[in-house]
Structure 1
Amino acid sequence: MDTNLLNNYVLKAIDAYPYELEETVENLNYALSYESNNAYALYLMARLQAEQFGDYEKAKHYYAEALANKMDFQKAYPRYIQVLLNNEDLEEAKKLIDFALTIKGIDKGAIWEKQAQIFEIKQEYKAAIKTLKKAKLFGFNNDFISYIDSEILRNKNKLKSKQKPSKLKAKKKKCRKKKKKTN
């Protein structure tokens, strides 16, 4: 097939997504029927499955195909990792993060932020905060840095609330001991 026609279908799908889903699907189906391993069409189909239908298994399949055909497709990694996190595939997400950090030109800040999400899911808030600080080092715009700052603050608040119950228990024990001594 003529590459220009294929690109035309992919570009039409990109232009239509996410506002004209019917047109997006139609153009993606045309593009994939002409070239079933077109990485960008597969990537967009994965996004459609995850973001519009919530079908993370299908999205994983399309992301895996897209990256199998174009391993240096930097744009796909953060979204694929997010799908893995949403699907609770933490080990698979960790492996993909480790690999993604070796890709030349990838947004390392976004990838480190995904690593922090894994720590947060596991309730390892100190590790999440440390990783978010690493992500912040790779932030090159104010919006991303502000977002990371808010993520750090949220994890600090979770860490405080996680520590409070144990402190309350210790205070209650002290009060009980004092009452026993006075009685």
Structure 2
Amino acid sequence: MTDESKAEDLFFEADNLIDDNKIKEAKEVLLDLLNEYPDYGRAHNHLGWLYSVKFNNHTKAKEHLELALKFSPDYQGVYANYAYLLLEMNKYDELINFGKKYADKGVADAGTIYNKMAQAFELKGEYLEAHKYYKLAVKGAINNQFMEELYASINRLKSKMNIFQKLSLINKI
């Protein structure tokens, strides 16, 4: 068995454990995998996701997701996971810069990245920029439920705007 094949087998074992909600076991398999293959980016992604979503350890999550970006820059899932994490950590400017760097590169789900950027702008109180990125997210969306969420976000955003901000949207049409 080649090293690559062994690493993939361990990765898929961890992935299946996650699917079966055996989180602790999956974490151990991923840590074992990374101990032997420290540059296996997809394992860093999954471990980063676990640390973020299941263990609420944002510091470790960020570390692993950044390693996933470094070692597996073509692995699409890591971009969304990292954007979600940055928003959850209130790292709005970092998220916006990240999104500007990767959203249009073709490796990330642009709709998701733009949506997270829009949320960051909204939380910063920069409503016109948020509106711009929600609209970009709509252009990249193909899922009906996601589209509904985006339109709901746009309507929520408009309710936060003052009259001059709303008028500036009309003037852009």
What range is the shorter-chain TM-score in? 0.7 to 0.9
Question: TM-score, normalised to structure 2's length?
Answer: 0.85
Match status 1:35 vs 2:37: yes
Describe the superposition over 1:130-153 as per-residue Cα deviations: whole angstroms up to 9, x where unpaired. Answer: 321121011112122111111112
Describe the superposition over 1:13-55 as per-residue Cα deviations: whole angstroms up to 9, x where unpaired. Answer: 1112161112211211221122011011000010011101211
Shift in Å at residue 91 of structure 1? 2.2
Q: Compute the RMSD of aligned alpha carbons.
A: 2.0
Q: 1:116 aligns with which of 108, 118, 125?
A: 118
**2:111/2:138 contact within 8 Å kept:** yes
Q: Residue type matched to 1:14 in 2?
A: D
Quote the residue 1:75 is aligned against.
77
Write the distance in 1 (CA, Å) between the matches of 2:83 and 2:144: 23
Quote the residue 2:170 is aligned against.
none
Identity of aligned residues (%): 27
Aligned length: 162
Describe the superposition over 1:83-132 as per-residue Cα deviations: whole angstroms up to 9, x where unpaired. Answer: 11211222221221111124224211111101101111112223212321
Q: Secondary structure at the match of 1:17?
A: helix
Write the distance in 2 (CA, Å) between the matches of 1:119 and 1:91: 9
Which ranges in structure 2 are unaligned for 5 or more consecutive residues? 166-173
Q: Residue type matched to 1:45 in 2?
A: L
Quote the residue 1:177 is aligned against.
none
Write the distance in 2 (CA, Å) between the matches of 1:37 and 1:147: 36
**1:101/1:111 contact within 8 Å kept:** yes
Question: TM-score, normalised to structure 1's length?
Answer: 0.80
Quote the residue 2:150 is aligned against.
148
Q: 1:50 aligns with which of 22, 28, 52?
A: 52
Which ranges in structure 1 are unaligned for 5 or more consecutive residues? 164-183
Shift in Å at residue 60 of structure 1? 0.9
Write the distance in 1 (CA, Å) between the matches of 2:96 and 2:71: 21
Match status 1:7 vs 2:8: yes
**2:62/2:85 contact within 8 Å kept:** yes
Quote the residue 1:172 is aligned against.
none
**1:50/1:56 contact within 8 Å kept:** yes
Quote the residue 1:84 is aligned against.
86
